[in-house]
Structure 1
Amino acid sequence: MKRLLVLSWVLMGSLSFGQSEKDVTVKRTLKLMGTRFEITVVAPNEEIGYININEAVSEIKRIEKIISSWDETSETSLVNNNAGIQPVKVSSELFGLVERAKKISEITDGAFDISYASMDRIWKFDGTMDRAPSEKAIQLSISKIGHEKIILDYNERTIFLSETGMRIGFGAIGKGYAADRAKELLVSKQVKGGIINASGDLTTWGTKTTGEKWLVGIANPLSKEKVFSWLPVVESSVATSGNYEKYIVLNGKKYSHIIDPRSGYPTSGVHSVSVFAKYAELCDALATAVFIMGKDSGIHLINQIDGVEVVVVDSDNKIHKSSGIMFNNNP
């Protein structure tokens, strides 16, 4: 589950002349892609604002029809249904998304992997599990996972899952991608500013109606109702992975519901990860990857990627950050 520690968006900085005094802020909250979306736009009036939001909703629904593994008519389902059988010709949009996902798998050594959808669900986080599955069951559950088994043919624009029973899923990248595309659409229509929050995968552009910056609040790990620090998100995105609600405790050790696709075991040692970058798609994927990789390896990776930053809260509620993060406790 993705959950962004955003308590509110506030104002900072001096006024700019980028917005008209007559502009209004329009927001709508709804369920899309099986999760909560909040779409906020700056518009000349409410009517235009709601028209803009409806256009963004239509774009998100269009993307869902392509990447949903629950919709049997989607391109993704067609790819999954032909696993081990034959390559499937797909749209350039889906091909590009899978191509980028594979590249993220490579730089994260498989901590992020869209073939995680092949995993058997042997871990239960509903309170019914009192012991870990057997090692044999765990290894069997991940036997079909591996980004290298996703074969892309660039000439034919096909995707082939090389083993029967393989599946791909976009749960750790799809909402971020949809947020990016909805933002791109609204920017192309000269919408001056806004926020698209896809259940914790958040992207912004422009400014508030006053011309001041959007800020995101990172919650204090010891008190979720208090802000530890405010960070500006200017023409940028942020995504957070956390283990607040879904976890288990076995032999006194807490395990997250986020499973390492390489080992088949739940992750431990990290409480939350917030990744900042230009695109929500990248934030989404890297937040999951860093959570799985752990504090030290994850921050080391982020420090090597230009334009990407991270804040990690470990299991002892200590806060760690990449080299480019500057905390601001007083917005």
Structure 2
Amino acid sequence: MKTTVLLLLILSGFSTTAQVLRKRTVKLMGSRFDITIVAADSLTAERNIDTVIAEVTRIENLISDWRADSQISRVNKNSGVGPVRVDPEVFALTERALQFSKITNGAFDISFAAMDRIWKFDGSMTEMPSPEAVRKSVEKVGYQHIILDKEKSTIFLERKGMKIGFGALGEGYAADRCRDMMLARGIKAGIVNGSGDMSTWGKQPDGSPWAIGITNPLRNDTVFAVVPLRQSAVVTSGSYEKFVVFNGKRYAHIINPSTGYPATGVSSVTVFGPSAEVANGFSTSLMVLGKEAGLKLIKKYPQYTYILITDEGQIFSSPRLGLKMHSL
């Protein structure tokens, strides 16, 4: 449900300390992961990158809904049949995701995995799906039918055919986990970027903060702002790479799980805060909710700041980011 639109991670070209920076790109959770570690020497950095890869792989094996032997796959196979016991870690992640589904009134819904993919964003669509097809596409979606039993650590999907999936939320969780693990191991700076769900800590070897460039959604080959990462996580969702246009209206690839219709009105949302997992939930939700309802929601959570850009190019951002309010 998320498009990676964080195009530019700005790295310094030199170090004034004895520290070295090492970066590796790998495919994990079906997506691109860029792992950057700052350490006293190259061997230490590379070994810790290996540790990050092992941790993301462990999480993937627990929560992947495309691996037949994962705990989430077992939950999905038993939808409408009975509850499935899962590890406390999986239960807690599901519990947090379900809470997000509730606070967004279904704009974010972990049962979206059961949605029929009737919208095509590869250029093959020539007409809008019928209202009946749209309604049918989401008939097995509904977070209200996910039953959690904390005492027994079980998950039960009440409706036959229901599915839950973590998608990019799992990437954000993995990035947060790896950041915390590295800090516990004494690695004082680095980045774990799971397909745009980015957790950072510390500073670059020259002492400067990590910084990112935010893509201009109206000209996606350009950057309209460079933002230093004073908070440890950042996630962007965007609609400008995958969309269809019918009757002059643009429909994004991010689908509203409660209606089955694509999001409209917002072309890009970037969310900064302490957790990539939570920032991902917000960025996706704001795309679905639209400008007014989305900004009303995120303003209730002052730990998180935002940059929201409408389809018309209007920019709305948290005052403490210090960006000028203007149009692209």
Provide TM-score, normalisation by structure 2: 0.94
Give the AA of the match of 1:132: M
Residues 148 and 291 of structure 1: CA distance in aligned 2, closer, same or farther (over 3 Å): same
| Counterpart in the other structure of 2:6 | 5
| Counterpart in the other structure of 2:140 | 144
Q: In the alignment, does 2:199 pair up with 1:203?
A: yes
Residues 229 and 328 of structure 1: CA distance in aligned 2, closer, same or farther (over 3 Å): farther
What is the alpha-carbon distance in structure 1 between the residues aligned to residue 44 and residue 131 of structure 2? 57
C-alpha deviation, 1:7, in angstroms: 1.7
Secondary structure of the 1:6 match is: strand
What is the alpha-carbon distance in structure 2 between the residues aligned to residue 224 and residue 84 of structure 1? 44
Give the AA of the match of 1:5: L
Which stretch shifts more, 214-223 or 297-306? 214-223
Work out which of the residue numbers 150, 154, 162 in structure 2 matches 1:154: 150
**Identity, % of aligned positions:** 45
Question: Deviations 1:267-306 (Å, cap 9, x if unpaired)?
Answer: 1111111011100000111110000000111111111112
Residues 5 and 215 in structure 2, CA contact (< 8 A), matched pair in contact too: no
Q: In the alignment, does 2:186 pair up with 1:185?
A: no
- Matched pairs, number: 322
Q: In the alignment, does 2:245 pair up with 1:249?
A: yes
Gaps of 5+ in 2: none
Provide TM-score, normalisation by structure 1: 0.93
What is the alpha-carbon distance in structure 2 between the residues aligned to residue 185 and residue 44 of structure 1? 17
Q: What's the C-alpha RMSD, in Å, of the aligned pairs?
A: 1.7
Q: In the alignment, does 2:229 pair up with 1:233?
A: yes
| Counterpart in the other structure of 1:262 | 258
Q: In the alignment, does 2:171 pair up with 1:165?
A: no
Q: How does 1:315-330 map to 2 (within 5 A)?
A: 315-327=311-323
C-alpha deviation, 1:221, in angstroms: 3.7
Residues 328 and 60 of structure 1: CA distance in aligned 2, closer, same or farther (over 3 Å): farther
Secondary structure of the 2:21 match is: strand
Question: Deviations 1:58-100 (Å, cap 9, x if unpaired)?
Answer: 0000000011010000000000000000000000011000100
| Counterpart in the other structure of 1:26 | 22
Give the AA of the match of 2:18: K
| Counterpart in the other structure of 1:224 | 220
Give the AA of the match of 2:9: S
What is the alpha-carbon distance in structure 2 between the residues aligned to residue 197 and residue 106 of structure 1? 27
Work out which of the residue numbers 52, 57, 64 in structure 2 matches 1:56: 52
Question: Deviations 1:291-330 (Å, cap 9, x if unpaired)?
Answer: 000011111111111201111111012211134332289x
| Counterpart in the other structure of 2:295 | 299
Gaps of 5+ in 1: 12-18
Which stretch shifts more, 317-326 or 255-264? 317-326
| Counterpart in the other structure of 1:276 | 272
What is the alpha-carbon distance in structure 2 between the residues aligned to residue 256 and residue 44 of structure 1? 45
Secondary structure of the 1:289 match is: helix
Residues 231 and 272 in structure 2, CA contact (< 8 A), matched pair in contact too: no
What is the alpha-carbon distance in structure 1 between the residues aligned to residue 16 and residue 178 of structure 2? 23
Secondary structure of the 2:167 match is: coil
Secondary structure of the 1:179 match is: helix
Give the AA of the match of 2:224: F
Question: Deviations 1:243-275 (Å, cap 9, x if unpaired)?
Answer: 122111112211111110011101111111101
